[in-house]
Amino acid sequence: MTVLAQPGPAEVEASVEQLVYVREDEYTVARMSAEGLPGFVASGRALAGAQPGETLRLVGEWDDHPRHGSRLMVGKCERVVPSTVRAIALYLGSGLIRGIGPRLAHAIVSHFGERTLTVIDTEPERLTEVINIGAVRQAQIVEAWAEQKAVAELMVTLQGFGISPLLASKIYHVFGNDSPGVLASDPYRLIGQVRGIAFHTADRIALRSGVPEHSPQRIKAAVLDRLEVASARDGHCFLPLPALVAAAAALVEQEDDLVRQAVDALTAERRVVVEAAPADPGRTVVYAKEQHSREAALTANLDRLWRARSTLPLRAFAEDESLHEDQRIAVNLALTSTVSVLTGGPGCGKSHTVKVIAQTVRAMGGTVTLTAPTGKAAKRLSELTGLPAMTVHRMLAQQPDQEEGTLFQRSPAAADLVVVDEASMLDLQLATRLTAAIPAGGHLLLVGDGDQLPSIGPGNVLADLLRVREIPRVRLTHVFRQAQDSGIVRAAHRIRAGELPALPGRGGFWFEELDDPDQVAERVVHLATEAIPRKQNIGADQVQVLCPMRRGATGTAELGRRLQERLNPAREGVAEHWSGPAVFRVGDRVMPIRNNYDKGVFNGETATVTAVSPPDRLVEIRTDDGEVAQYTFDELDELTHAYAISVHRSQGSEYPFVVAPIVAEAGGVMLRRGLLYTLVTRARSWVVLVGRREALELAVHRVGHRRNTGLAHRLAVSLGG
Where are the chain's structural domains?
7-80, 150-209, 216-300, 308-396+412-479, 487-701
| CA separation for the pair 105, 144 (Å, rounded) | 14
| CA separation for the pair 604, 456 (Å, rounded) | 10
- Fold match between 216-300 and 487-701? no
Report the binding-site residues for ATP.
347-351
Q: 3-class SS at 454?
A: coil
Contact (Cβ atoms closer than 8 angstroms) between residue 378 and residue 654: no
Task: Decide which of 3.40.1210.10, 3.40.630.40, 3.40.50.300, 3.60.150.10 is the CATH code for 487-701.
Answer: 3.40.50.300
Contact (Cβ atoms closer than 8 angstroms) between residue 555 and residue 666: no
Fold held by 150-209: DNA polymerase; domain 1 (1.10.150)
Task: Give the model confidence (pLDDT) of 635-665 as tens digits.
Answer: 898 999 999 999 999 988 889 999 999 998 7
Q: Environment class of residue 246 by beta-carbon count within 10 Å: exposed (0-12), middle (13-18) or buried (19+)?
A: middle
Helix ranges, 235-288 (H): 241-252, 256-268
Q: Which residues, 6 or more positions from 119, have their beta carbon under 8 angstroms from its beta carbon? A: 112, 126, 127
Task: Give the model confidence (pLDDT) of 583-605 as tens digits.
Answer: 999 999 999 988 787 888 877 78
Task: Decide which of 3.40.630.10, 2.40.50.140, 3.10.20.740, 1.10.10.10 is the CATH code for 7-80.
Answer: 2.40.50.140
Fold held by 216-300: Arc Repressor Mutant, subunit A (1.10.10)
The CATH code that applies to domain 308-396+412-479 is 3.40.50.300
Q: How high is the pLDDT of residue 317?
A: 60
| Helices 711-720 & 289-307 angle (0-180, nearest 10) | 40
Contact (Cβ atoms closer than 8 angstroms) between residue 671 and residue 698: yes
Taking residue 717's Cβ as centre, other Cβ atoms within 10 Å add up to 14
Q: What is the pTM of this model?
A: 0.87
Q: Which residues, 6 or more positions from 235, have their beta carbon under 8 angstroms from its beta carbon? A: 427, 454, 455, 457, 458, 459, 460, 707
Q: What percent of the chain has pLDDT over 70?
A: 95
- The arithmetic mean of pLDDT across residues 342-363, rounded, is 92
Q: Which of 275-289, 540-554, 602-616 has the lowest mean pLDDT?
A: 602-616
**Predicted confidence (pLDDT) at residue 27 exceeds the cutoff of 80:** yes
Output the average pLDDT for the chain: 90
- The arithmetic mean of pLDDT across residues 700-706, rounded, is 88
Distances 140 to 89, 134, 668 between C-alpha atoms, Å: 18, 10, 51
Buried b (16+ CB within 10 A) or exposed e, 487-504: bbbbbbbbbbeeeebeee
**Predicted confidence (pLDDT) at residue 480 exceeds the cutoff of 80:** no
Task: Give the model confidence (pLDDT) of 384-436 as tens digits.
Answer: 888 999 989 889 987 654 443 333 456 899 999 999 999 999 999 999 999 99
Q: How high is the pLDDT of residue 144?
A: 86
**Predicted confidence (pLDDT) at residue 481 exceeds the cutoff of 80:** no
**Predicted confidence (pLDDT) at residue 316 exceeds the cutoff of 60:** no
Q: What percent of the chain has pLDDT over 90?
A: 61
- 127: phi then psi, degrees, rounded to nearest 5: -60, -30
Report the binding-site residues.
347-351
Vertex 183: Cα angle to 619 and 291 (nearest 5): 70
